[in-house]
Amino acid sequence: MTPLAVSMIVSQRFLPAFSIFLLAGASDAVDGFIARHFDLRTELGAYLDPLADKALLNSIYVSLAIYAGLPAWLAITVVSRDVMILVAVLVSWLMDKPVEIRPVWESKFNTAAQIALAGYALGVRAYGLNPQPLQTYLEWTVAATTLASGGIYIAQWLDHMSR
């Protein structure tokens, strides 16, 4: 759904983009519920699900920054944190010190804030509403939680690599 959502944002079709975003979120929630409820979790799914979530959010943030007025510095911050985490994991594997990524509550809050801002930004554009002042509040919340969770992951990674 990521390429379709981005395509809709690029073409300024925010109602379909918003609908796709909501559908992606609902399908992710149902998929997670089924996996947990029926004990159908797999190691591959444990890697692919968060990667798909990040691909969708990062793509939407970059697209909104380019085509819909979301601050570029915010999209750069969000994408940079995820790239930093990915590079840290790859470096630890290359150094034969694989690190297990366990989400901390700050990261979960950050993800919720990112989803809220993406959904809000798409929704207000879909329905022609004024995004301010709530969008600014959400942007600063996303920035703060992105930096906080990124800092926590860096600290954990440095601790792991120093052992």
Tokens 């709530």 belong to residue: 134
pLDDT of residue 6: 97
Q: Is 13 helix (H, G, I), strand (E, B) or coil?
A: coil
Compute the distance between CA of residue 57 and CA of residue 20 in angstroms, rounded to an integer: 12
Model pTM? 0.93
pLDDT of residue 145: 98
As a whole number, the mean pLDDT across the chain is 94
Q: Is 30 helix (H, G, I), strand (E, B) or coil?
A: helix
CATH of domain 2-162: 1.20.120
Mean pLDDT over 19-23 rounds to 97
Q: How many residues does the chain have?
A: 163
Mean pLDDT over 59-84 rounds to 97
**Of 26-40, 61-75, 96-110, where does the model show the most confidence?**
61-75
94 band by pLDDT with thresholds 50, 70 and 90: very high
Per-residue pLDDT reduced to its tens digit, 117-134: 999 999 999 999 999 999
Residue 145 CB neighbours (<10 A): 20
Measured CA to CA in angstroms, residue 15 lies from 58, 72, 87, 160 at distances of: 19, 22, 35, 45
Query: Is residue 87 pLDDT above 80, yes or no?
Result: yes
